[in-house]
Amino acid sequence: MSGYRELFDTSISDPAAFWAEAAKAVTWTREPQRVLDDSNPPFYRWFPDGELNTCANALDRHLDERSDQAALIYDSPVTGTTRTYTYRELHDRTARFAGVLRNLGVAKGDRVVIYMPMVPEAVIAMLACARLGAVHSVVFGGFAAYELAARIDDARPVVVVSASCGIEPTRIVDYKPMLDAALAHAEHTPSACVILQREQQPCALVDGRDVDWADAIATAEPVGPVPVAATDPLYVLYTSGTTGKPKGIVRDNGGHAVAMMWTMRHIYDVEPGDVYWAASDVGWVVGHSYIVYAPLLLGATTVLYEGKPVGTPDAGAFWRVVAEHRVKVLFTAPTAIRAIKKEDPNGDRIKDYDLSSLASLFQAGERLDPDTFHWAAGKLGIPVIDHWWQTETGWAIAADPMGVQVLPVKPGSATVPMPGYDVQILHSDGVVAEPGEEGAICIKLPLPPGTLPTLWGDDHRYVAAYLSAFSGYYLTGDGGYLDEDGYLFVMGRTDDVINVAGHRLSTGSMEAVLAEHPAVAECAVIGVADEIKGQVPRGFVVLKAGASADNLAAELVAAVRENIGAVAVFKSVDVVPALPKTRSGKILRKTMRGIADGRDEPVPSTIEDPAVLEALRSILRR
């Protein structure tokens, strides 16, 4: 492991030297003289006196050499469209949209919420915010009004950018009514909404509030990049925590740009001019990092895919995109590969396309299970790399660094910690685990550049949620172990966050919706194993005295869909006489989950009434 090992050891023993070298890949308006400010632990700041503009790094600085190179390829089987934007075109549109936002009063430090489907305008809106030094907060289109409203209230945007509709294979998703409902529900009122009218389903605009994207951009003047401090926020991305209230993960400008550039070459082995495709959504961190920022910062070509792995039109969709656009690296979630495998178990559709451009397949979002790994590696005949990360970190904590040294893959492992991440497995008493022993996966502070410096407007919650379990460590929320060779095995969350089709969701927010129903006295939502989606939620409710269970399940399913969104895939709810609890009143969710997944789950000694659990056993096993 010499190449990797040397690099990793230097990053831990002398992080400042390591990241100062990496920072040379970024164009700064003021070069940082200091690399790491560690004067105020547990808060760390990277490149504290540096100044730059992320959008200028992603677009303007490529204009000399790559003006006519494709920056973004929009491939949309759901609309039958393919469109390429050169660096010049993407730059010009972004600069003009920055003009639209400025005309609406957006200035450096202001927030803009972006609630859009997978269209180029979503990327343009993000980059335009970065250009102005404004802070974007993208909300995934699969979230409905309640989740959107919660994010609007926390981010308090000056402007919301949205679209009339999104297009799912089986239906048109009306974004505008959801936006209107969210704004009616939210306490905060933005001064304007910019709406992209899509021909598939235009919408009515609200007079005095809504602005038509096309009209506004036609008359706006282009705006140049505004330099910001490296430590200024680039974006806030909300992610699910254990409670219903989403956490606003803050990403800074300088550390992020440095980390993004470093990962493209060293982890993904991608060079400027290569085509890189992250088949995710701009609403998730994978979309932020690897659809938008990293490929463009490097000068590569990114693919923006508005479609699914299956059904648009078939299980060959991914291979068509790879072949048509000569994709070098594909990044997707294991759930997508499982969906393809289910429809095309022999991989016949793979043979229909010339995949000679494809060098590797990266997987993240959930653990790459060995079956899916073997299928993909066998059928594609290229390295299939599991890598583990979180919204909080913005880039891989553990991976196989393809651009440094290709390490042998161990199925079920995300390979080794990446530079800057001093990963340690801790037992609950804080003792470091021996190789092979499972425990809480923690990272010794400081975290490397590009990771969260805090939560939006809430330093206290940042410390409470991540830094207080073990002093001097960041708690990832995942459990797992390191083996004798230093390979990391991530086994799953240790909290109530679940992962549905690669989407991170909070069971707490679903419980909050169930609890609002007048017939519900108590409830619990757990994630249970699912063959394709990895996990799906299941709800259990106890009725209030005298309340009727008639039609209740259907009402609760509809309420979660309406409030949180279809993406929660909340389809199953059982009425039960009581929920199993500890003597201190904590619902035994982990025990319920184990039984539902068919494990031989021990009954905790702290249980209040074992009979309640026994009564539930057969329902859980269904």
Using CB under 6 A as the criterion, which residues of the chain lie in contact with ligand AMP when the complex forms? 239, 284-285, 364-367, 386-391, 414, 477-478, 490, 493, 499, 504
- Give the CA distances from residue 546 to residues 325, 400, 526, 580, 616, in Å, rounded to whole numbers and listed in that order: 61, 58, 26, 21, 21
Does residue 333 interact with ligand COA by CB under 6 A?
A: yes
Nearer to ligand AMP, 50 or 534 (CB): 534
Which residue of 55, 173, 275, 556 would you call a contact of ligand COA, by CB under 6 A? 173
What is the 8-class DSSP label of residue 432? B
502 lines the binding site for ligand COA (CB under 6 A) = yes
Which partner from the list ligand COA, ligand AMP, none does 499 bind, CB cut-off 5 to 8 Å by kind? ligand AMP
Task: Determine which helix (DSSP H) or strand (DSSP E) holds 497, and give its type and residue range.
Answer: strand 497-500
> Cβ 404 to ligand COA, closest distance in Å?
23
282 binds, among ligand COA, ligand AMP, none (CB under 5 to 8 A by kind): none
Binding partner of 569, given ligand COA, ligand AMP, none, CB within 5-8 angstroms per partner class: ligand COA
The reply on whether position 58 binds ligand COA by CB under 6 A is no
- Find the part of the chain contacting ligand COA (CB under 6 A) among 314-322, 330-338, 402-410, 411-419: 330-338
Amino acid at site 571: K
What, of ligand AMP, ligand COA, none, does residue 244 touch, CB below 5 to 8 Å by kind?
none
475 is an interface residue for ligand COA by CB under 6 A? no
Could you give the CA distance from residue 106 to residue 223 in angstroms, rounded to a whole number? 12
CB of 310 to ligand COA, least distance (A): 6
Per CB under 6 A, which of residues 419..448 are in contact with ligand COA? none
Residue (15 or 77) nearer to ligand COA, CB: 77
Q: Nearer Cβ to ligand COA, position 122 or 616? A: 122
Minimal distance, residue 339 CB to ligand COA, in Å: 4
Residues linked to residue 528 through DSSP beta bridges, in sequence order: 536
Binding segment for ligand COA among 40-48, 204-212, 418-426, 498-506 (CB under 6 A)? 498-506
Does residue 575 bind ligand COA (CB under 6 A)?
Answer: no
Query: Would you put residue 270 in left (φ > 0), alpha (ψ -120 to 50) or beta?
Result: beta
How is residue 104 written in tokens?
A: 């609406």
Q: Which residues, 280 to 299, sit near ligand COA by CB under 6 A? A: 280-281, 284, 286
CA distances from 412 to 179, 359, 387, 485, 594 (A): 40, 21, 10, 14, 20
User: Considering the complex, what minimum distance in angstroms separates the CB of residue 489 from ligand AMP?
Assistant: 9
User: Residue 61 or 325: which CB sits closer to ligand COA?
Assistant: 325
Residue closer to ligand AMP, measured from CB, 324 or 369: 369
Answer for the pair 512, 580: CB distance below 8 angstroms, yes or no. no
Question: What sign for the dihedral angle of Cα 12, 15, 17, 19?
Answer: positive
Exposed e or buried b for every residue in 432-448, given b needs 16+ CB within 10 A? ebeeeeebbbbbebbbb
DSSP code string of 173-224: EEHHHHHHHHHHH-S---SEEEEEPPTTS--PPPTTTEEEHHHHHHHPPP-P
Spatial distance between the Cα atoms of 465 and 305, rounded to a whole number of angstroms: 34
336 binds ligand COA (CB under 6 A): yes
Q: Is the Cβ–Cβ distance between 241 and 506 less than 8 Å?
A: yes
Q: Which of 365, 477, 534, 580 binds ligand COA (CB under 6 A)?
A: 365
Contacted by 256, from ligand COA, ligand AMP, none: CB < 5 to 8 Å by type: none
Host H or E run for residue 160: strand 159-163
**Does residue 334 belong to the site contacting ligand COA (CB under 6 A)?**
no
Q: What is the CA radius of gyration of the chain?
A: 24
Is there a contact between 33 and 9 (Cβ–Cβ < 8 Å)? no
Closer residue to ligand AMP, CB minimum distance, 311 or 412: 412
566 binds ligand COA (CB under 6 A): yes
- Classify 125 as helix, strand or coil: helix
Q: Among ligand AMP, ligand COA, none, what does residue 142 contact (CB within 5–8 Å per kind)?
A: ligand COA
Dihedral sign, Cα of residue 342, residue 504, residue 123, residue 67: negative
Q: Which is nearer to ligand COA, 333 or 520 (CB)?
A: 333
User: For residues 586 and 141, what is the distance between their CA atoms, to the nearest angstrom?
Assistant: 34
**Would you tell me which residues interact with ligand COA (CB under 6 A)?**
141-142, 166, 168, 173, 279-281, 284, 286, 308-310, 332-333, 335-336, 339, 364-365, 501-503, 532, 566-567, 569
